[in-house]
């Protein structure tokens, strides 16, 4: 386990001490006996990525606000299923949480025959943090007049187009298939095991379009090998402010707006008041110094969804993504 060792005593030292001394009694009073011991957040992906980074930064705020130690425990494997199953079986006492991606809870139920847990029965989602904008880009060989999604569709009709997806059943896969179905395109969705090989092929020109994270495609953007045509998200990407969203371009179908998020979840029977308090802490963490720094580094601008908001969006994700994945004919793995 990776430990954060800041204690209440340490927090009360230094220039910020006076404010924390005044704040602490109200926090303890508002939260009753929770928390009164160490909180563990299981991250079901390796250290170093966005899911892990947000968990660590936001956990610092929880630790500072409550005076209790927060530990990050990375348990990767099986596309997130291993870590999620561990939390699903953990005591529902408010001291074990999961930090994951929404695909673990939504897409994985189609991609795997067995998960080792039931996302709907075994877990409740506490908060959801936007995983950022995943722009759609085209290769530099695509004619310059292709500048947005409408012109891309017009250009792609009747042509052999390879559209890159970092995984089977990913948001990129679903987005491309939705274009095929709704606009009569015949694009081939080329699936990879991760973004790195996909962007290598894009740089080599074997893909005409792809969708993915700005961080992973950044080298191609800088060299001018690719250009973005749409942000399939609710907001524009702060570092590509001139690239409009799907809705701004007139594409209002939910399949053209990626709504994935990083999910903070707890065992389903966790007391409701604890879920709400942790939700409030997690949302507030986005405005803390470590939270702001981490979000800025990944170009994230949307505030986290609270418990009620994320549960509502969870239902929307399931209602839109799962039928689309099944329509793709994806066969689940063992």
| pLDDT value of residue 241 | 94
Same domain, 103 and 251: no
Q: What pTM did the predictor assign? A: 0.76
Domain annotation covers residue 54: yes
Query: Any idea what the CATH number is for the domain that residue 286 is in?
Result: 3.40.190.150
CA dihedral in degrees (113, 116, 120, 126; nearest 10)? -130
| pLDDT value of residue 43 | 95
Domain annotation covers residue 32: yes
| pLDDT value of residue 32 | 56
Domain annotation covers residue 333: no
| pLDDT value of residue 8 | 36
Same domain, 310 and 295: yes
Domain annotation covers residue 276: yes
Query: Any idea what the CATH number is for the domain that residue 166 is in?
Result: 3.40.190.10
Domain annotation covers residue 332: no
Domain annotation covers residue 224: yes
From 205, 226, 256, the end of a domain falls on 256
Q: Which domain holds residue 104?
A: 2-131+260-327
Same domain, 110 and 183: no
Same domain, 226 and 279: no
Same domain, 126 and 6: yes
List per-block mean pLDDT (blocks of 10 residues) for the chain, which spans 334 residues.
Answer: 42 34 36 86 88 95 97 92 97 97 92 94 97 94 98 97 88 91 95 86 97 90 97 91 97 87 97 98 97 90 94 92 82 70
Same domain, 318 and 244: no
Task: Concatenate the DSSP letters of all residues of 37-94 into one string.
Answer: S-EEEEESS-TTSHHHHHHHHHHHHHHHHH-S-EEEEE---GGGHHHHHHHHTS-SSS
From 222, 256, 290, the end of a domain falls on 256
Domain annotation covers residue 103: yes
| C-beta separation of 311 from 119 below 8 A | no
Same domain, 100 and 165: no
Domain annotation covers residue 104: yes
Same domain, 118 and 217: no
| C-beta separation of 5 from 64 below 8 A | no
Total number of domains constituting the chain: 2
From 256, 279, 313, the end of a domain falls on 256
Same domain, 230 and 284: no
Burial of 216 (0-12, 13-18, 19+ CB in 10 A): middle
């Amino acid at each position: 386990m990776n430990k954060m060792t800041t204690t209440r005593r340490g927090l009360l030292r230094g220039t910020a001490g006076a404010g924390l001394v005044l704040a602490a009694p109200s926090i303890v009073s508002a939260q009753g006996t929770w928390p009164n011991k160490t909180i563990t957040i299981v991250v079901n992906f390796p250290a170093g990525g966005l899911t892990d980074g947000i968990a660590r930064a936001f956990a610092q705020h929880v630790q500072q606000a409550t005076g209790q130690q927060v530990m990050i425990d990375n348990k990767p494997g099986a596309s997130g299923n291993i870590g999620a199953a561990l939390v699903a079986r953990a005591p529902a006492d408010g001291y074990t949480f999961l930090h994951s991606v929404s695909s673990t809870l939504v897409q994985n139920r189609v991609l795997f025959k067995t998960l080792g847990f039931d996302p709907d029965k075994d877990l409740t989602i506490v908060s959801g943090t936007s995983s950022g904008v995943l722009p759609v880009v085209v290769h530099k060989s695509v004619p310059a007049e292709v500048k947005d999604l409408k012109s891309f569709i017009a250009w792609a009709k009747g042509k052999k187009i390879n559209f890159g997806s970092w995984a089977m059943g990913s948001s990129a896969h679903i987005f491309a298939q939705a274009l095929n179905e709704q606009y009569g395109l015949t694009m081939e969705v080329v699936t990879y095991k991760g973004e790195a090989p996909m962007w290598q092929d894009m740089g080599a020109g074997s893909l005409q379009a792809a969708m993915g994270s700005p961080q992973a495609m950044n080298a191609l953007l800088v060299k001018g090998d690719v250009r973005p045509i749409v942000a399939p998200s609710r907001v524009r990407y702060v570092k590509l402010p001139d690239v409009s969203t799907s809705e701004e371009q007139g594409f209002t179908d939910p399949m053209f707006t990626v709504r994935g998020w990083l999910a903070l979840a707890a065992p389903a029977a966790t007391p409701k008041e604890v879920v709400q308090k942790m939700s409030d802490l997690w949302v507030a963490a986005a405005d803390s110094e470590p939270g702001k720094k981490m979000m800025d580094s990944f170009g994230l601008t949307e505030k986290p969804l609270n418990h009620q908001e994320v549960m509502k969006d969870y239902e929307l994700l399931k209602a839109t993504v799962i039928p689309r994945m099944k329509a793709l004919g994806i066969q689940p793995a063992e």
